[in-house]
Structure 1
Amino acid sequence: MRFMILVKATKDSEAGVMPSEELIAAMGAFNEALVKAGVMQAGEGLHPSSKGARVQFSGKNRTVVDGPFAETKELVAGYWIWECASLQEAIDWVKRCPNPMLTDSDIEIRQVYTAEDFGEAFTPELREQEDRLRAEIEAQQAKKG
C-alpha cells in the first residue's frame, strides 16, 4: 500500500523559519532508515504558502489566489510517499519520526488510491493510458538522474 505522509505547517514553517542543523541531521537519519527499509519512495519539504498559489474551480471558471493562506493548521509543509504493508506500519514509522517542527506539530497519513480502487470505471483503455504515463514519467526521471 502506498501512503502520502503530510507534515502539517506551523506558524514557524509559514514564516520561513529554517530547521536547525540538528533537526536536519535527525531527519536525514530518519530518511536513511526509511530508504534502507524500502519504505520511502519520495519526500520533500515545501516553501511557505506565501510563495504559492491556489487555483479555484467553479464550473468552467478558474480563479488564481496568491498565497499566503490564512489557515496555517490546514497547510502542508512537507510530504513523503511511502510503501508500507498497512496503515499500522505507516503509523509505526511516523511515531519514530523526529518532531519536524520547532513546536508541537501534526503529521497526517493518507492512503494513495490504486487502479483497483476505481472498479469498473477504470476501463482497460484508461489502465493502459496510466501505465503508459507512468512509464513515460520513469523514463523522464531516468534521463534527469
Structure 2
Amino acid sequence: MKYSILFFTTVLSALSVAHAEEIGSVDTVFKLIGPDHKIVVEAFDDPDVKNVTCYLSRAKTGGIKGGLGLAEDTSDAAISCQQTGPIELSDAISKGKKEGEIVFKKRTSLVFKKLQVVRFYDKKRNTLAYLAYSDKLVDGSPKNAISAVPIMPWK
C-alpha cells in the first residue's frame, strides 16, 4: 500500500513538470571515444503560467560513460526566464507557497542527482522568481541560479 501511494504521487508530480527542448550546445572538451563534454542550452515553458519561458544552460558529461548515460553531470547551471505574452496567475499561484513549486526536473546522474527549477511568487513585487539548483550537495551547499520575471502589462 505504501509503495502504491508513493508511485501514484510520483506520477502525479511528473505530470505537472515541464519538459525541455534542446536549443543548442557547444563542445567544451574533446573526447576521443564517445561524445564530447558540452554545455547544453534548453528551453521550457512554465506548465502552470502561460507566456513564461525559461532557458537553462547546463554542463553535460561526455566520454564513454556520458554516451551510455552512466556519467554524473556537474552541478553547474544557469537560468534566464522571460515573459513572452500576457500573464494571468491562477489563485493557487497568487496565494503562493513559501517552499515554491517544482516546474522542471531533469536527471543529471544515473540514480541520485537532479537539476530542478522551482517557481516562487513574490506578491509584494508582482514577480515570479525561478530558482535552478542541483539536489546534490557540493562543498556543503547546492549550486544554484535564479531568474526573476516581473509581471508586466502586455499590449
Fold in common (TM above 0.5): no
- Normalized per residue, the structure richer in strand is 2
* TM-score calculated relative to the size of structure 1: 0.27
User: Which of the pair is proportionally richer in helix?
Assistant: 1
Relative contact order: is structure 1 or structure 2 higher (C-alpha 8 Å, sep ≥ 6)? 1
Larger Rg: 1
TM-score (norm 2): 0.26
